[in-house]
Structure 1
């Protein structure tokens, strides 16, 4: 079964946990990983890995080096992702469990964290603070945000919460070649927090 069909099926089963019915486009994936400091020994974490479009791109960039952890709350998507990417540590968990996931993997800090999490995840846990505490001081966090809804209160709260715990936040130009169009928030200089 193709990625889009699986996403649609899983979205219909749990729309608040699977936030989209289409896989991210190549253009959005490129915008998501371009700001990330991915090098030979990098630790890269994905939140809301879904069908693995970002996973594919991160694996190409790592080229067999570094460490890659993908967190996906949906068991069907996590199992499929693990089968497709045996070199990636795929964990079926809530993004709010990031500190425990990293600790279980013997990881103290991540160099890059990429997120396709929906607003509901931000409403149920302090995701920006959790991410800031998990990032190395020179790390970068990217979060996709739907362009057509970025002025709605949940999207504004999401961006405000990110800005509250990161010293440097930039917003990409619109990624029109995505359905729906999106933009990417890139956050650096995490506040020195601990959870």
Structure 2
């Protein structure tokens, strides 16, 4: 009920009427290493649909930092997942969030953000923040709803991740999710692309590109 209530309060910020399914959570978090001590950042965890899956894969290793803008979701998440470093902050401030915890990079970034509800400037701000903290071997995953895949915000997202990452793989459709969704697996952030990508001329070129991935 709390998820639906938050959607009513802030539909553009929450972006969905129900949490993601376990199947989508498993697909989105499959890149979290089962060995070592990785730094995993979760953006827009909401009520924790992906959080538990990340914690299960980490098994007490590494660090799991969840960045949630909604203060009520952040408080609820901190109470239900004491092993997660929950931060009530905006995803565009990701570098500052990490720096405040003595970190400069993240090995994996998993996003549950509602991209289709974002204006172009906010999409670009968040994606730039993500690419800026990933090392060459870092991985970013995010998802899109199948029924909105050809809507302008979804097309912008696909063009943007294609510009920022050398490899974008589209996962299979998770039909058990409500609504059905698919995951983008983004690897090898393009060196030096972030500063160019934020320039007005480059931004305009990406916005009007006609060949998104997948």
Verify the 8 A CA contact 1:171 1:184 in the aligned structure 2: yes
Matches within 5 A, 1:1-195: 5-119=1-115, 120-121=117-118, 123=120, 124=122, 125-193=124-192
Output the CA distance in 2 between the equivalents of 1:106 and 1:47: 18
Verify the 8 A CA contact 2:105 2:135 in the aligned structure 1: yes
1:128 shift after superposition: 2.0
Which structure has the larger Rg over C-alpha atoms?
Answer: 2
Aligned CA RMSD, in angstroms, stands at 1.4
Output the CA distance in 1 between the equivalents of 2:88 and 2:73: 9
Q: How far does the alpha carbon of each residue in 1:107-152 deviate from its partner, in whole angstroms, 9 at most, with x for none? A: 1110100001112446324222211111121111001100111011
Verify the 8 A CA contact 2:33 2:57 in the aligned structure 1: no
Where 1:138 maps in the other structure, the secondary structure is: coil
1:93 shift after superposition: 1.0
Please list every run of 5 or more consecutive structure 2 residues that lacks an aligned counterpart in the other structure: 196-214
Tell me the TM-score normalized by structure 2.
Answer: 0.85
Aligned partner of 2:210 in structure 1 is none
Cα 1:121–1:98 change in 2 (3 A) is farther
Tell me the TM-score normalized by structure 1.
Answer: 0.93
Where 2:16 maps in the other structure, the secondary structure is: coil
Output the CA distance in 2 between the equivalents of 1:190 and 1:121: 22
Higher strand share: 1
Please list every run of 5 or more consecutive structure 1 residues that lacks an aligned counterpart in the other structure: none
Cα 1:122–1:112 change in 2 (3 A) is farther
Output the CA distance in 1 between the equivalents of 2:40 and 2:70: 20
Verify the 8 A CA contact 2:118 2:153 in the aligned structure 1: no
Q: How many residues align?
A: 191
Output the CA distance in 1 between the equivalents of 2:35 and 2:119: 29
Where 1:145 maps in the other structure, the secondary structure is: strand
